[in-house]
Amino acid sequence: MSWKQLRKQGRTGEALAALREAVRREQLEPEELERAGRMLAADARQDENGGLRVRVLGQCTTSWLAPMIAALAWGRGLPLAVASGEFDNVVQDLASGAPADVVVLLPWSERYLANPLVDDEVAQWRHAWRLAAGRGARVVQIGYDWVGAGPLGHHLAGDVAHVRALNAELRAALPASAYFVDLEAVSGLAGRAQFYDPRQYHWTKQPFSMAGAAELARHVVAGIRALVTGPKKVLVLDLDNTLWGGVVGETGPLGITLGGTPEGEAFVAFQRHLRGLARRGVLLAVASKNNPADAREPFGAHPDMALAIDDLAAFEASWDPKAMALQRIADALQLGLDSFVFFDDNPAEREHIRQALPEVEVVEVPEDPADYLRALEAGLWFEAVALTDEDRARTAQYAVERQRAELRGAASSLDDYLASLEMCARVRDLDDTDMQRAVQLIGKTNQFNLTTRRHSEAHVRALLAGGAVAVTVRVRDRFGDHGLVSLAIAVPRDGDLVVDTWLMSCRVIGRTVEQLVLAELVRRATERGLHRVVGEYLPTAKNALVARLYDDLGFAALDASPAGSRYALALPCAALPRTFVARE
């Protein structure tokens, strides 16, 4: 039964569940998507729709775009409360102080193209960004676009050149923590004839067709997700008829379709794109129903393989159900399944994962391998605000982690294993060198995160200016460098050092880095003549891992409730818990 039929029967809860699944599977027409967003906003029982506050402000009408953003985000498990500002009222709305966690800014080119002054146009958006930052809101800035070539035509490139010059300046001026939606590229991929509706614009000042608005909403949601949670982390791939044509167990490693033919070249192009994702920090994993030896053989034997075994962070080849394989990959990588994207040519396997592991995003894979790359990119799963050196080194770090796991299996005790790692750490004050990485960790770390407060760069800088202690920890061991793995921000308050943010990468959980961080906080508090270190645990669906951290570190409980708990460590304190991490 469809969500519409369920709604007519008054079965609202079931209707919402069916609607969410339809959004997730991209089964709704643009008009239905817009109505779904309005339905969510109107349904007082839809608790999930009251999440992150988003305000859409534009130089054109945005009242169709806002509900599409809400519906698409909700379907992907990102609850948003989306409001639309009045027509061409951007600065006034920002100055009014209306609450927002994210502000979406949508320009329109008509006025600019009538008088194309790039500096003036950029200056007004700079002002808007400052107002948004003053309210603690993050920014999704949409670029400008041209609908037609203009009076000068295509060769002389008047309107086109003006728009491209402005977009280049706008992107260059954008704050580091903001996300840019390249509207010219988005409309170009969709086709401007289908993306824009001039009649709609003349009637309502909304320039997009319904299909165009839906496509723009997808990119806006990707931008919000990049700002709030970061990109997806793991792409899990099948092998036979996904990375190559044919079944390797039947044809052997040299009999698979890879290179040499149009179909074989399509598989090679897809592999090259995957290799690029691995180079920028996306973890590639394999989940294949295959004999393990057969599955691995093409990576070393076939001359046209663009991917190497070392490009893969995890490799599961067995005859078990793929849901079991994905769970083993998640356990090995110490990552949640909600950070996974699954790509498999077999529709039965895709449906199996959708039903068994609904938190995993599943790509609807087309039949023709020439379309694989386009299908993967269309999901916008790996959009990121910025890339750091740690991102680029991530695949290599997980390869080294396998060596650490082998060492642990051979060690006689946990203490012997930790000592054998020969860990050392560099502890330093947070500064511009690590600011981008620190803000990235604040935005995406879920498991070892005591409060899960999502601070913007502007807010972190404000805390520092107010006297906060902010320390970063970089760890290396005998196998290699983990990079920046922990961040703690604590605020002096009424004689206490109150921990506002404490997080750590999953790569070093259980290796006593937390004991090292506590020792640093105690040292900083003592130097300032403070009497206690006070910590807070705010439970979420993902941070149960650290529910007892303060207890285990020797803190005394102050108060507790379902919403959170507070703890204190009196200074001077007894001996601190042992750490196996030496300071450089």
Query: For the residues of 253-285, what is the DSSP string, one character each?
Result: TTTSB-SSSHHHHHHHHHHHHHHHHHHTTPEEE
Residues 81 and 205 in one domain: yes
Q: What is the pLDDT of residue 46?
A: 46
pLDDT at 483: 85
User: Do 280 and 210 share a structural domain?
Assistant: no
Give me the pLDDT at residue 475, please: 92
E-strand spans in 453-495? 469-477, 480-493
Is the pLDDT at 51 greater than 90, yes or no? no
For residue 388, tell me if it sits in a domain.
Answer: no
- Distance from C-alpha of 175 to C-alpha of 172, rounded to nearest angstrom: 9
Buried b (16+ CB within 10 A) or exposed e, 310-338: ebbbbbbbbeeebbebbbbbbebbbbbbb
Average pLDDT over residues 530-535: 94
298 shares its domain with 319: yes
439 and 503 share one domain: yes
In which band, very low, low, confident or very high, does the pLDDT at 77 lie, cut at 50, 70 and 90?
confident
- Rounded Cα–Cα distance for residues 60 and 334 (Å): 45
In angstroms, the CA 58 to CA 41 distance is 20
Q: Binning pLDDT at 50, 70 and 90, where does residue 97 land?
A: confident
Among 281-290, 308-317, 395-404, the range scoring the smallest mean pLDDT is: 395-404
For tokens 């919402």, the residue is: 16
User: Percentage of residues in the chain with pLDDT exceeding 90?
Assistant: 64
pLDDT band per the 50, 70, 90 thresholds, residue 403: low
Please state, in angstroms and as integers, the Cα–Cα distance from residue 54 to each residue in 17, 35, 57, 78, 240, following that order: 23, 18, 10, 12, 43
The closest of 294, 299, 348 to 322, measured between CA atoms, is: 348
> Can you read off the two tokens belonging to residue 549?
């951290």
Domain closes at, from 228, 256, 281? 228
Strands 424-429 and 361-362: unpaired
- Residue 416 CB coordination number (10 Å): 12
My answer on whether omega of the bond before 572 falls inside 30° of 0, hence cis, is: yes
Q: What is the DSSP letter of 577?
A: P
SS3 helix, strand, coil % of the chain, rounded to 5? 50, 20, 30
Domain shared by 189 and 221, yes or no = yes
The predicted model gives 72-98 an average pLDDT of 90
Q: How far apart, in whole angstroms, are the C-alpha atoms of residue 298 and residue 312?
A: 14
pLDDT in tens, 378-390: 999 999 988 777 7
In single-letter form, the type of residue at position 385 comes to V
- Give the pLDDT band (50/70/90) at residue 154: confident
Asked if 427 and 458 sit in the same domain, the reply is yes
Q: Which residues pair with 284 in a beta bridge?
A: 235, 312
For residue 402, what pLDDT is reported? 65
Residue 399 lies in a domain: no
Same domain, 153 and 260: no
What average pLDDT score do residues 396-413 get? 66
Cβ neighbours for 276, distance < 8 A, ≥ 6 positions apart: none
Identify the domain boundary among 321, 354, 378.
378
Whether 402 is covered by a domain: the verdict is no
Residue 507 has pLDDT above 80, yes or no: no
Q: Give the strands of the sheet with 340-343, arranged side by side.
A: 312-318, 283-289, 234-237, 340-343, 361-362
Stated as kind and residue range, the H or E segment containing 138 is: strand 138-142
pLDDT of residue 44: 46
Instruction: Clarify whether residues 31 and 105 are in a common domain.
Output: yes
Asked if residue 507 and residue 431 are part of one domain, the reply reads: yes
Question: 228, 248, 274 — which closes off a domain?
Answer: 228
User: Token pair of 358, please?
Assistant: 């609904």
Q: What is the CATH number of the domain that holds 484?
A: 3.40.630.30
Residue 405 has pLDDT above 70, yes or no: no
Mean of the pLDDT values across residues 66-81?
91
Distance, in Å, from the CA atom of 581 to the CA atom of 538, rounded to the nearest integer, reads 27
Report in angstroms the alpha-carbon separations of 253 from 95, 274, 288.
64, 20, 15
Confidence of residue 418 (pLDDT cuts 50, 70, 90): confident
Nearest one of 169, 225, 230 to 386, comparing CA atoms: 230
Decide if pLDDT at 542 tops 90. no
The answer to whether 520 and 429 have CB atoms below 8 angstroms apart is: no
Tokens linked to 38: 């309005």
State the Cα torsion 252-257-260-261 to the nearest 10°.
Answer: 150
- Please check whether residues 266 and 187 belong to one and the same domain: no
pLDDT in the model for residue 375: 96
Q: Is 160 helix (H, G, I), strand (E, B) or coil?
A: helix
The arithmetic mean of pLDDT across residues 300-313, rounded, is 92
Does 218 have pLDDT greater than 80?
yes
| Average pLDDT value over all residues in the chain | 89
Structural domain includes residue 408: no
Instruction: Look at residue 47 in the predicted model and tell me its pLDDT.
Output: 45
* Residue 389 domain flag: no
Rounded Cα distance between 238 and 286, Å, is 6
In total, how many domains does the chain have?
3
Is residue 348 located within the same domain as residue 220?
no
Residue 383 belongs to some domain of the structure = no
- What is the domain range of residue 329? 234-378
Question: Quick check: is 568 in a domain?
Answer: yes
In a domain, 196, yes or no: yes
Q: pLDDT band for position 322 (50/70/90)?
A: very high
Residue 557 has a CB neighbour count (10 Å cut-off) of: 11
Domain with 311 in it: what CATH number? 3.40.50.1000
Average pLDDT, integer, range 313-331: 93
CA dihedral of residues 137, 139, 140, 146 (deg, nearest 10): 130
pLDDT of residue 545: 87
Whether 255 and 339 share a structural domain:
yes
The CATH number linked to 200 is 3.40.50.1110
Q: Maximum distance among all alpha carbons in the chain? A: 79
pLDDT in tens, 221-232: 999 999 988 899
Which value, in Å, is the radius of gyration of the alpha carbons in the chain?
Answer: 26
| Structure confidence at residue 415 (pLDDT) | 85
Q: What value does the mean pLDDT take over residues 266-287?
A: 95
d(CA 54, CA 75): 16
Question: Residue 152's CB: how many other CB atoms inside 10 A?
Answer: 13
CA distance 450 to 440: 16
